[in-house]
């Protein structure tokens, strides 16, 4: 920082990402409230702890190796021009490198790492809701580390990195993570659910599904409101706030500084503010009508609307964002119930639909609407196109989402470590704690009652 403008840019960027991290914490608070509200009373604490403890586990594993993966894997390895791991680019992300600690010559690594880490929490937290009330915490936490510190960060390295092979070859464009967070998390959740099975009582003997309503719809909706709030941080964190053409080093000429998306292609905070709010609105309106005013689906539809439009929300016109959100919500609502009936999948919070299908559909739509636009400011990259975006959606949802979750869940299930015993599921996962709590309450009441003269 040898000039004032350099110092200001650096400190502004540092503070910018730091603020996004604080805002993104609200996403996790929202997910916890949402899940606890959706679970039944006898499973509250287990549900809350399951989601809470992914925070430290994903954090330390992301420090240990997740961050390094992002910089080492842009070529596949061996997918782009036969190139292997990029050890040189990943040097500063090694946990033992001086950049990964208090360092006066590096103001960015810590906040940039944390912004990515909060995405990791979100990916794992999306999965958490769909498997409530019957998964073992130990199994979930292993799966949380797999998606939070391995699978999603590989997809980020491939498709959410200025040098990623999917951007170069496929013209993959996913500015606000329709695919790299939501489609993968939805696919991952589905991979677990196929092996885990439905909650006891979810399906009648004739195979028709029962509705298991949330014990506290109010808490669920406030949770979703908080997720909306945290999403502002998520969106801001997807941008580079200020950078010069010289620092980008691509084809851009002139001296005009700009904000960019993660691919270093220009956009503005103003653009994503327009599009965030219009896609939220399109999603809410479509969900209200298609669900006939159901509050759970209306709120979820607002989120799904944003997720559907997110791939191209750096470029869309606000009205396009609104329509894309509305279309996506109708599709995912219908898909959720079709999959539930057809394949007996019990997704307790609709996460596979709201995140997985919405992300997948959003990528497909972006491929058509943004067809021909440059995916990158660098020369030689494929332009955005429908086929590349479809392949990208399959990679996100299927290859990096569904597949690893299915395989690991099969292994855990084979070892008897995936699902709680049926008796315990009926008693409630908090049974022991609830019994102890009630005994303590009874003891205190009896003791104090006896003191009354």
- Pick 191 or 374: Cβ nearer other proteins: 374
- Pick 91 or 251: Cβ nearer other proteins: 251
Total residues binding other proteins (CB under 8 A):
36
Q: Minimum CB separation from other proteins for residue 87, in Å?
A: 29
Q: Determine, following the binding rule CB under 8 A, whether residue 317 of this chain makes contact with other proteins.
A: yes
- Pick 205 or 379: Cβ nearer other proteins: 379
Q: Determine, following the binding rule CB under 8 A, whether residue 194 of this chain makes contact with other proteins.
A: no
Q: Determine, following the binding rule CB under 8 A, whether residue 277 of this chain makes contact with other proteins.
A: no
| H or E element at residue 209 | none
CA distance 308 to 362: 4
- Pick 105 or 256: Cβ nearer other proteins: 256
If phi > 0 it is left, if psi is from -120 to 50 it is alpha, else beta; for residue 293 that is: left
What is the chain's length? 453
Q: Minimum CB separation from other proteins for residue 350, in Å?
A: 21
CA distance 345 to 341: 8
Q: Determine, following the binding rule CB under 8 A, whether residue 369 of this chain makes contact with other proteins.
A: yes
Q: Determine, following the binding rule CB under 8 A, whether residue 250 of this chain makes contact with other proteins.
A: yes
CA distance 185 to 397: 8
> Among 204, 58, 42, 228, which residue's Cα sits nearest to residue 128?
58
CA distance 68 to 86: 10
Contact pick of 253, 270, 342, 452 for other proteins (by CB under 8 A): 253
Residue 328: partners with Cβ closer than 8 Å, 6 or more residues away:
283, 304, 305, 307, 308, 309, 358, 361, 362, 365
Contact pick of 149, 258, 279, 409 for other proteins (by CB under 8 A): 258
Dihedrals phi, psi of 258, to nearest 5 degrees? -155, 165
Q: Determine, following the binding rule CB under 8 A, whether residue 207 of this chain makes contact with other proteins.
A: no
The residues in 230-249 that bind other proteins, with binding defined as CB under 8 A, are: 245
Q: Minimum CB separation from other proteins for residue 80, in Å?
A: 20
Beta bridge partners of 259: 267
Q: Determine, following the binding rule CB under 8 A, whether residue 313 of this chain makes contact with other proteins.
A: no
Q: Determine, following the binding rule CB under 8 A, whether residue 371 of this chain makes contact with other proteins.
A: yes
> What is the b/e burial string over 406-430, where b = at least 16 CB atoms within 10 angstroms of the residue's CB?
bebbeebbeeeebbbeeeebeebbb
Contact pick of 316, 333, 360, 397 for other proteins (by CB under 8 A): 316
The residues in 372-431 that bind other proteins, with binding defined as CB under 8 A, are: 372-374, 376-377, 379, 383, 385
Contact pick of 69, 184, 326, 393 for other proteins (by CB under 8 A): 326
Contact pick of 53, 142, 243, 289 for other proteins (by CB under 8 A): 289
| H or E element at residue 82 | none
Q: What's the first-to-final CA gap in the chain, in angstroms? A: 75
Dihedrals phi, psi of 329, to nearest 5 degrees? -65, -40
Q: CB of 104 within 8 A of CB of 374?
A: no
Q: Give the footprint of other proteins on this chain (CB under 8 A).
A: 245, 250-256, 258, 265-267, 285, 288-289, 292-293, 315-317, 319-320, 322-323, 326, 369-374, 376-377, 379, 383, 385
């Amino acid at each position: 920082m040898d000039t004032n403008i350099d110092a200001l840019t650096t400190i502004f960027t540092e503070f910018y990402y730091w603020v996004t991290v604080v805002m993104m914490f609200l996403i996790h608070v929202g997910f916890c409230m949402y899940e606890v509200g959706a679970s039944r009373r006898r499973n509250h604490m287990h549900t809350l702890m399951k989601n809470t403890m992914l925070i430290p586990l994903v954090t330390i594993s992301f420090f240990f190796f997740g961050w390094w993966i992002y910089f080492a894997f842009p070529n596949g390895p061996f997918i782009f021009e036969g190139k292997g791991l990029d050890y040189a680019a990943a040097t500063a992300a090694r946990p033992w490198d001086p950049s990964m600690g208090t360092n006066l010559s590096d103001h960015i690594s810590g906040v940039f790492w944390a912004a990515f880490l909060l995405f990791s929490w979100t990916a794992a937290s999306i999965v958490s809701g769909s498997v409530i009330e019957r998964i073992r915490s130990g199994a979930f936490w292993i799966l949380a580390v797999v998606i939070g510190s391995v699978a999603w960060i590989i997809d980020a390295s491939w498709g959410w990195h200025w040098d990623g092979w999917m951007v170069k070859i496929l013209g993959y464009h996913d500015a606000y993570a329709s695919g790299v967070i939501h489609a993968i998390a939805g696919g991952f959740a589905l991979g677990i659910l196929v092996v885990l099975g439905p909650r006891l009582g979810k399906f009648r003997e004739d195979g028709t599904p029962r509705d298991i309503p949330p014990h506290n719809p109010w808490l669920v909706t406030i949770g979703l409101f908080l997720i909306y709030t945290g999403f502002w941080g998520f969106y801001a964190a997807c941008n580079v706030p200020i950078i010069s053409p010289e620092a980008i080093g691509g084809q851009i000429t002139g001296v005009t500084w700009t904000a960019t998306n993660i691919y270093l292609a220009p956009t503005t905070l103003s653009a994503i503010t327009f599009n965030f709010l219009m896609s939220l609105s399109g999603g809410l309106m479509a969900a209200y009508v298609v669900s006939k005013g159901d509050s759970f689906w209306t709120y979820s539809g607002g989120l799904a609307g944003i997720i559907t439009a997110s791939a191209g929300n750096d470029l869309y016109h606000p009205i396009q964002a609104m329509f894309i959100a509305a279309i996506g919500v109708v599709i995912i609502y219908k898909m959720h119930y079709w999959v539930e009936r057809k394949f007996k999948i019990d997704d307790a919070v609709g996460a596979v639909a709201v995140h997985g299908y919405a992300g997948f559909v959003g990528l497909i739509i972006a491929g058509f609407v943004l067809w021909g636009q440059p995916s990158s400011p660098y020369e030689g990259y494929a332009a955005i196109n429908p086929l590349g975006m479809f392949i990208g959606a399959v990679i996100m949802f299927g290859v990096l989402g569904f597949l690893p979750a299915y395989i690991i869940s099969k292994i855990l299930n084979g070892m008897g470590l995936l699902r709680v015993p049926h008796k315990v599921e009926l008693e409630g996962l908090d049974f022991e704690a609830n019994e102890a709590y009630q005994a303590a309450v009874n003891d205190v009441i009896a003791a104090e009652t006896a003191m009354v003269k």
